[in-house]
Amino acid sequence: MSVTFIPTIGRRENDAVANNLVRAIRSGEIFGQAEKIVLYAGWPQVKDYDGRTHSSDLTVVGDAYGIKLVKISLSSDKADVRRDAISILQAAATTESLMGKSLQLKKKRKLIFDVIPIIYAPNIDPEQYDNEEVEFASSEGELYRLLKEQSGKLDGSQVAEVQAIIEGAKALGQIVDAEEDQEVHPVARAYRDLEAVIYNFDATQRSVALTAIQGPQRIRGLAGTGKTVILAMKAALAHIENPNAKILITYYTRSLRDIIERLITRFHRHFAEVDPNWDNVHVRHGWGRQNLPGVYRDTCIREGVSPKSYNEVSNVSDPFGTVCRDLVDRGVVAPYYDVILVDEGQDFPDGFYQMCFYLAKGERDRKQIIWAYDELQNVFDVKVREPEQLFGKDTDGHPRISLTRSLPGGTDTNDFVLQRSYRNQRDVLILAHAVGFGIYGEIVQMLENAKHWEDVGYDVVSGTFTSGSENVVERPLVNSPSVLETPADTPLIRGQAANSFDEEVEAAVAEVRSFIEKGIHPHQILVVSLDDRTARSYFTKIADRLLAFRIPCNNIIVDKYSEPPFRIDGRVTLSTVYRAKGNEAAVVIVVGADAASLKTRTGRNKLFVAFTRTKGWLRVFGMATKTFSQLSGEINAAVASSPRLRFTMPNMSQLNTIQRGLEEKHARLVEAKRRMERLKNELNLSDEDMASLVEDE
């Protein structure tokens, strides 16, 4: 039997009855060995018209069992049980309504399976129960019988559809622009079909989003693995769980606010059918400024401290970390947020994390701090910082945050690694890695071992990954499942050298016009300048030339002090690589690529970030210099070798290693916990039994 277990945000961790039922289902005690079951604890959660939240303590989805929602009512009072029965009936009714929106799950206008509410009340006499709309069980045996009642056979795609609806993936589908099939250019149709795949939000991503752990969590993955979407969903679900809780989701790139707020709104509407209360859900830039709220600035104002601006500390090596540490050292940071979610975590300094530690409510190992980062995307530094460094040491000399120490018993992990990149085409991602590391040129940084390549979604084909060894890795389609069926006359990747600034501008403008003529909307096109010194010149010239063709632009660097939306409908986005981080577009046109040094980490990281902004097509332009000629050679080599990367392992002591970040000790401890849980279940041992075994040793 295959059981997928998702302990969601609504899971009651200390409920022994629910935990025993979960163990029984996961052990194969209830369902047959051939069955495929998805088990949710504390989900779904829905709201009624009066704003009250209703949830299921356990929900079972099976290919032959329909959907069974179980409310556990341990009261011996008839009124309490009746109230719980009405609550689970409401949860079932809303779930059935959501399912009814999918034609794939209906036949003759009716669902092809049943959504059945069950009340499990072992402390009440069955004779006292009088709600005929909700199935009643007063014993485990009766509950098991109800769970095993069959209700229509679902095929694999239908089960996936049920999961996508329950887990909220359908909220993302609304982002895709609706298009009519008639007279749609093949390029536009290819992109529309691609978006349908990207926004499917796979089961692993949804599981990470739904999984709730009473304590810190880390989420890691490459560009396009859904980290921002997952954090937005977690924020929405936490708000539904407790509308009065203070929730913070913070980010580094100022242009991210708009997309985060839109994602939270869509998820919240999907489950609660109303907009979130932004008084309790704060989407904040990390620093903030005079006309812009930010985590640091808001904290200073609450505590009566005058916030410092960048100009006041620009002469120090770590300006943002300095102001955050100063606030922490003053001892004035008081707990304020019930949940803190940090996007783009790789860009924040240690001092910011330490400020967040004190802003989070709760005991040390129960603080709800969830941070996501991409260790290959930081354009400032590539060293992976472990939680012990990020959060520093507590007053007792121990780390403030330790993933190993805070991992609850019975929980598989609180350190999630996302391997599937849905945003980027496989060839583009492989190209970005090749150029980012310097694999076909001068290697300036490298993953430390074969296991790290596997962490980021590659299969190791050959090699020992020791200094001087010849190594081959390959990216399987399963980890880059988004495939763009681009027409032959519109290649996925193309680079072009220009002999002058004006010629390069004209080439970029021609590409924009070409894609718009093929049905790509202006707001689906992003122009990124890698030449920081002349970015304004590029964008002024490009904007003027496009406006001559009645194509307006959204130049987000016009006002460096504002927080403009990254995407404005009907306008081509013009951005530097720093503002582009965390965002995406159907087409990315890179200008000034010759300004990115191929001898430095910073230069190659900027290329990596720029390339990985595209969900579809990539165009790379630069002046005909020696640097651009070398870059063109590397691009051609990577495209020719895709889906494989071939390289000679450098001497790791002579260059920057991107560390794996999964401490071997931590990995061993997590594996030990998994084995202990398995042993406990197999031998029916309690936590006390296991503890006594350790003590005896």
Does residue 288 contact residue 253 with C-beta atoms inside 8 Å?
Answer: no
- Identify the pLDDT of residue 174: 44
Does residue 552 sit in the same domain as residue 682? no
Distances 514 to 12, 494, 522 between C-alpha atoms, Å: 55, 14, 11
In a domain, 189, yes or no: no
Does residue 268 sit in the same domain as residue 405? yes
In a domain, 181, yes or no: no
- Identify the pLDDT of residue 154: 86
Judge whether residue 304 has pLDDT over 90. Answer: yes
- Tell me the chain's radius of gyration from C-alpha atoms: 27
Does the N-terminal peptide bond of residue 643 adopt cis geometry, omega within 30 degrees of 0?
yes
- Identify the pLDDT of residue 361: 97
- Identify the pLDDT of residue 691: 53
pLDDT-derived band at 412, boundaries 50, 70, 90:
confident
pLDDT-derived band at 674, boundaries 50, 70, 90:
low
**Which candidate, 481, 485, 492, 475, places its Cα nearest to that of 423?**
481
- Identify the pLDDT of residue 171: 75
Q: Specify the higher pLDDT residue, 392 or 13.
A: 392
pLDDT, tens digit, 9 for 90 and up, residues 192-226: 888 777 666 666 787 788 887 789 999 988 777 88
Residue ending a domain, among 363, 389, 418, is 418
In a domain, 484, yes or no: yes
The percent of residues in the chain predicted with pLDDT above 90, rounded, is 56
Does residue 637 sit in the same domain as residue 676? no
**Which candidate, 204, 259, 200, 211, places its Cα nearest to that of 234?**
211
Burial of 291 (0-12, 13-18, 19+ CB in 10 A): exposed
Mean pLDDT for the stretch of residues 12-30: 78
Most confident of 18-27, 85-94, 416-425: 85-94
pLDDT, tens digit, 9 for 90 and up, residues 114-172: 999 999 999 998 888 888 899 999 999 999 999 988 887 888 888 888 888 888 877 77
Would you state the structure tokens that stand for residue 500, as one six-digit string? 């002058």
pLDDT-derived band at 258, boundaries 50, 70, 90:
confident
The strand ranges marked E within 177-216 are none
Residue ending a domain, among 120, 149, 167, is 167
Give me the CATH number covering residue 156: 3.40.91
For residue 679, the tally of other CB atoms under 10 A from its CB is 12
Would you state the structure tokens that stand for residue 246, as one six-digit string? 């203070």
Residue ending a domain, among 399, 418, 437, is 418
Does residue 439 sit in the same domain as residue 332? no
- Which residue range is the domain that position 291 belongs to? 203-418
Does residue 576 sit in the same domain as residue 600? yes
Secondary structure (H, E, C), 406-419: HCCCCCCCCEEEEC
pLDDT, tens digit, 9 for 90 and up, residues 391-402: 999 999 999 999
In a domain, 197, yes or no: no
Q: Specify the higher pLDDT residue, 578 or 334.
A: 334
Does residue 421 contact residue 223 with C-beta atoms inside 8 Å?
Answer: yes
Task: Beginning with the edge strand found earlier in the chain, give each strand of the sheet holding 115-120 in spatial order.
Answer: 2-7, 36-41, 58-62, 66-72, 115-120, 135-137
- Identify the pLDDT of residue 182: 53
Does residue 379 sit in the same domain as residue 364? yes
Report the distance separating Cα 219 and Cα 208, nearest Å.
8
Cα-flanking dihedrals φ and ψ of residue 669, to 5°? -65, -40
In a domain, 185, yes or no: no
Does residue 333 sit in the same domain as residue 249? yes
Judge whether residue 239 has pLDDT over 60. Answer: yes
Does residue 44 contact residue 170 with C-beta atoms inside 8 Å?
Answer: no
Does residue 70 contact residue 88 with C-beta atoms inside 8 Å?
Answer: yes
Task: Beginning with the edge strand found earlier in the chain, give each strand of the sheet holding 217-221 in spatial order.
Answer: 281-285, 247-251, 339-342, 369-373, 217-221, 415-418
Does residue 219 sit in the same domain as residue 301? yes
- Give the strand pairing for 459-462 and 135-137: unpaired
Most confident of 48-57, 238-247, 559-568: 238-247
- Identify the pLDDT of residue 175: 43
**Which candidate, 130, 110, 109, 111, places its Cα nearest to that of 121?**
130
Report the distance separating Cα 685 and Cα 681, nearest Å.
7
Does residue 222 sit in the same domain as residue 134? no
pLDDT-derived band at 51, boundaries 50, 70, 90:
confident
In a domain, 672, yes or no: yes
**Which candidate, 267, 368, 282, 337, places its Cα nearest to that of 46?**
267
Report the distance separating Cα 134 and Cα 118, nearest Å.
6
Q: Specify the higher pLDDT residue, 550 or 407.
A: 550
Q: How many structural domains compose the chain?
A: 4
- 296-304 contacts: CB < 8 A, separation 24 or more? 296/320, 296/323, 296/324, 296/327, 296/352, 296/355, 299/327, 299/333, 299/336, 299/355, 299/359, 300/327, 302/334, 302/336, 303/327, 303/332, 303/333, 303/334, 304/332
pLDDT, tens digit, 9 for 90 and up, residues 459-489: 999 999 999 999 999 999 988 888 999 999 9
**Which SS3 state, helix, strand or coil, does residue 136 take?**
strand
Does residue 190 contact residue 484 with C-beta atoms inside 8 Å?
Answer: yes
Would you state the structure tokens that stand for residue 226, as one six-digit string? 């859904």
Judge whether residue 33 has pLDDT over 70. Answer: no
Map tokens 């981080």 to a residue.
581
In a domain, 194, yes or no: no
- Identify the pLDDT of residue 179: 43
Give me the CATH number covering residue 277: 3.40.50.300
Mean pLDDT for the stretch of residues 22-31: 81
Average pLDDT, the chain: 87
Report the distance separating Cα 377 and Cα 501, nearest Å.
28
Instruction: Give how far the C-alpha of residue 60 lies from the chain's centroid of Cα atoms, to the nearest Å.
Output: 25
Map tokens 């290919």 to a residue.
63
**Which SS3 state, helix, strand or coil, does residue 339 take?**
strand
- Identify the pLDDT of residue 298: 97
Judge whether residue 381 has pLDDT over 50. Answer: no
**Which candidate, 237, 230, 233, places its Cα nearest to that of 205?**
230
- Longest Cα–Cα distance in the chain: 88
In a domain, 182, yes or no: no
74-78, 285-289, 424-428, 673-677: range with lowest mean pLDDT: 673-677
Map tokens 């492989």 to a residue.
430
Judge whether residue 521 has pLDDT over 70. Answer: yes
What are the DSSP calls for 500-539, one per residue? SHHHHHHHHHHHHHHHHHTT--GGGEEEEE--GGGHHHHH
Does residue 553 sit in the same domain as residue 637? yes
Does residue 431 sit in the same domain as residue 331? no
Report the distance separating Cα 551 and Cα 570, nearest Å.
8
Does residue 338 sit in the same domain as residue 368? yes
Report the distance separating Cα 520 and Cα 586, nearest Å.
8
27-36, 291-300, 585-594: range with lowest mean pLDDT: 27-36
pLDDT, tens digit, 9 for 90 and up, residues 61-88: 988 888 999 999 999 999 999 999 999 9
- Identify the pLDDT of residue 696: 45
- Give the strand pairing for 459-462 and 470-474: antiparallel
